[in-house]
Structure 1
Amino acid sequence: MFIIATILPCIPVFSLHAQAVTPMAQAHTMKNSGVQKKGLSSAPVAYVNAMPPVMDHNLYAHALLDEFEARYNANGGQFRYDGQAWVGTDYNKLWLKSEGTVGTNGKFGDGDHEILYDRAISRYFDVQTGVRMDIDNGPTRAWGAVGIEGLALYFFDVEATAYFSDRGAAGRLQGSYDLLLTNRLILQPQVELNFYSQSDPGRANGRGLSDIDTGLRLRYEWHRKLAPYIGVTYSGTFNQATTLARARGEHDLHDLNFTFGLRTWF
């Protein structure tokens, strides 16, 4: 009687542990034991911690208007936007990116629009490939694109993209970082550099380092999806791009601007 009283309380415990297996492990056990060959139905599976497997193929969508701002300096001002959106699963996405500026003359410039296929290659990085179209008041250009985007060490947002066309190759490096001063007050340094293998007088792109756009923005997340900001931004052209810009009658080649704008996402 003492032995029976000792064994009986352990039976439910062993039964529970026998059921707390993953479907893959259960299928492996059934295959080795010959249950499937006999046509018997499988027993219900009790998932560990009562949670089903993670669903990683659901469809999601996200859009971010990172820069929607006015810039002012002693020579005038301009409006600039930079946004992106994607739709897809955890592993495969379709990305749309667009940026550009509107000067005091009302002309749309620096128009860059991209359609990319995005594939996750690690926990923090994705590889992207697709097409880029330069469409604004200048000559239209088309490029093939391949690059990488993600979070580097210490959660720096980084993008490195290479572009190819009949006019040579180009490259773009972008980076930004959110420094939380408080839970809602965030300081964001940002930089974008553009390189070209050949000059393009029609679009004032010079060989080598052509231009830089950088800034330091302080935003307040009044609402998590709506954050006004102020900051200081700098945009400048270099090397051959400087000569091409002056040939087109442009003289403001290095602009330091007071900036204010709005950042939003959904």
Structure 2
Amino acid sequence: MKSPRFTLSATAVWTLAVAFTAQADDGYDAPADWPSPMTEHAVGSVLVDRLEYAWPEDGEEALSWDFQAWYGGDFQRLYVKGEGENTQGDGEDAEFESLDLLYSRLIDDFWELQGGVGYQGGLGSEDHPERYFGVLTLQGLAPYRFETEADLRVSDDGDLSMSLEQELDLRLTQRLYLQPRLEVAAALDDAPEFGVGDGLNSVQTGLRLRYELHRKFAPYVGAYWKKLYAQTADLARDSGGSTEDTVVVVGVRMWF
């Protein structure tokens, strides 16, 4: 004698799924003394988004970098971020455009609000001017998968500045990616020693084509265009610099 079989039609399965979803939407809360179904563990990661050598049409060649490291869980993290360059052949030390220590809190799906302190200047050098900031950052994934970072900075002299960075990874093959990138910077106060005037400071846009030899290691080539505006452009002219440039880059992106 065969054992009885119990089968569910597709309609019955769908009905049960809807019922369970409706129950979940009713806002059922587990008792306070129940343990969490999943234990959160602190982990960390380091991403070197750009480590590249640049050949500008005008100006000096430079080695530049952009990295971020974090440690924490799904909702709270501690970040260290750095961006800067070392101009080749000028006899001066490397300079950090920004070096930030930030506490981050997840405020919505794919969005983090970060706050902390920042630094700008040449580490280990007395030749570079330097300043410190209070930093507020919104970082996340905008619609259509644009990776976005918007900064608001107040220096120790009370100077207010803002920046916006966006980039998009377009997958061409399983290993080949095209990455358009946009950076916009503005300030509400002058800081002539840093080459910054009030108003719109600069716009930079470019493309990088990278090939993933490994998921954690991807060399790339690219180019970008940068233009200075308003009083920032005037300060560049006064110091003998250019206000517009096209730059070719070769670099590597890696994380671990």
TM value normalised by structure 1: 0.77
Return the alpha-carbon distance in structure 2 between the equivalents of residues 248 and 74 of structure 1: 18
From 199, 205, 208, give the equivalent of 1:217: 208
Larger Rg: 1
Q: Output aligned runs, 1:12-27, within 5 Å.
A: 24=30
Counterpart position of 1:169: 160
The secondary structure found in structure 2 opposite 1:205 is coil
Counterpart amino acid of residue 189 in structure 2: Q
1:178 aligns with 2:173: no
What amino acid is the match of 2:140? G
* Equivalence for 1:111: 97
Residue in 1 aligned with 2:81?
97
**Unpaired segments ≥5 residues, structure 2:** 1-27
Query: Which residue is 2:141 aligned to?
Result: 151
- Once superposed, what is the RMSD of the aligned Cα atoms? 2.4
Q: Match for 2:201: what amino acid? A: S
SS at match of 1:150: strand
Distance 1:69 1:149 in 2: 23
Q: Deviations over 1:53-112 (max 9, x none)?
A: 222x21110110011001113434211111111001111111011011111314334521
- The 1-side partners of 2:221 and 2:99 are apart by 26
**Does the 8 A contact of 1:186 with 1:218 survive in 2?**
yes
Indicate how the Cα distance of structure 1 residues 59 and 171 shifts in structure 2: closer, same or farther if over 3 A, else same. Answer: same
- The percentage of counterpart residues that share the same residue type is 33
1:23 Cα deviation from its structure 2 partner: 10
Q: How does 1:110-259 map to 2 (within 5 A)?
A: 111-136=97-122, 138-165=128-155, 166-250=157-241, 252-259=242-249
What's the offset of the Cα at 1:205?
A: 0.5
Out of 26, 38, 46, which is 1:63 matched to? 46
Q: Aligned residue for 1:8?
A: none
> Are the equivalent residues in 1 in contact too, given 2:192–2:235 (CA < 8 A)?
yes
Q: Which amino acid aligns with 2:250?
A: F
Q: Which has the higher helix share?
A: 1
Alpha-carbon contact 1:138-1:203 (below 8 Å) kept = no
Give the Cα separation in 2 of the matches to 1:180 and 1:173: 23
**Which runs of structure 1 show a deviation greater than 4 angstroms over 4 or more consecutive aligned residues?**
25-28
Structure 1 gaps of 5+ residues are 1-21, 29-44, 46-51
SS state at 1:202 partner: helix
Alpha-carbon separation, structure 1, partners of 2:252 and 2:55: 15
Distance apart, 1:234 and its partner CA: 2.0
CA distance in 2 between counterparts of 1:155 and 1:178 reads 8
Aligned to 2:117, the other structure's residue is in SS state: strand
Q: How many residues align?
A: 222
